[in-house]
Amino acid sequence: MHEALFVNMDTTADVRNQARRAADGGGTARTETAMPPMLLTIPEAARVLAVGRTTMYELIAAGAVEVVHIGRSARVPIAALEAFVERMRSGTVTVSSPTASPAAGRRRAAPGRRVPQRGDQGRLFGGARQQT
Let me know if residue 127 belongs to a domain: no
Residue 85 structural domain? 36-92
Contact 95, 57 (CB under 8 A): no
pLDDT (0 to 100) of residue 28: 54
User: pTM for this one?
Assistant: 0.49
* Beta carbons within 8 Å of 75's beta carbon, 6+ residues apart: 39, 40, 41, 67, 68, 69
Residue 85 lies in a domain: yes
Is position 76 within any domain?
yes
Question: Would you say residue 57 lies in a domain?
Answer: yes
Domain assignment present for 58? yes
**How high is the mean pLDDT in each 10-residue block of the chain (132 residues)?**
43 55 56 83 96 96 95 96 94 66 54 68 64 59
pLDDT at 51: 96
Residue 43 lies in a domain: yes
| Number of domains the chain is built from | 1
Q: Is residue 68 part of a domain?
A: yes
The three-class DSSP label of residue 83 is helix
- In-domain check, residue 47: yes
Which helix (H) or strand (E) segment holds residue 69: the answer is strand 68-70
Looking at residue 21, its pLDDT comes to 61
